[in-house]
Amino acid sequence: MRSWTQAFAASAAATAASLVLAAAALADAAAPPPSGGHTGLLVLIGCVVVAVAAVSIVALRRLATRRARASALPEESGAETGGRDGPGPEDGSDA
């Protein structure tokens, strides 16, 4: 629970930061590009992408842990809880 809360808080912070930065860059984009081109803009975009990717990896790690924990449950437990999510895409079609 705590890791999920942390991931969510990080995602909210990253979203807010990316919005502020993107709004600032958009405002800047209305002006003609400086002689050096848009290097700063590309760096900003890189930072936002890395931030989003980092938060996504945290969330994916949590998902992976949950899956691993679920797969370690006894067989009966999985059956009782309906351990499936509808027939798979290849059911009746991949043969």
Partner 1 sequence: MTGAGAPRSTPGTGRHAWAALALAAALHAAVDAACGVLLWGAVRDGHLSAGSAWAAFLLYNLLAFAVQPLLGLAVDRGSWARGGAVAGAALTAAGLTAAAAWPQALAPAIAAAGLGNALFHIGGGVLSLRVQPGRATAPGLFVAPGAAGVAVGILAGRAGAPAWPFVAAVALLTTALWFAWPALGGAPRSARAARAVPAPRSTSVAGPALPPAASPRLGFAVAVALLLLVVALRSFVGLDLVMPWKSDVTLLAMLTAAVVLGKAAGGVAADRFGWRPVACGALLVSAPLLAVGAASPWAGIVGILVFNMTMPVTLAATARLMPGQEGFAFGLTCLALFCGALPVLAGWTPPLGAAALAAACGAAALALWAALAGRSAARKQSDAARSVHPEERSYA
**Rule CB under 8 A: which residues touch partner 1?**
7-8, 11-12, 14-15, 18-19, 22-23, 25-33, 38, 41-42, 45, 48-49, 52-53, 55-56, 59-60, 63-71, 73, 75, 77-78, 81-91, 93-94
Complete DSSP assignment for 49-93: HHHHHHHHHHHHHHHHHHHHHHHTS-HHHHHHTT---S--TTTTT
Closest CA to 51 of 20, 75, 81: 20
The least distance separating partner 1 from the CB of residue 51, rounded to whole angstroms, comes to 9
The least distance separating partner 1 from the CB of residue 60, rounded to whole angstroms, comes to 6
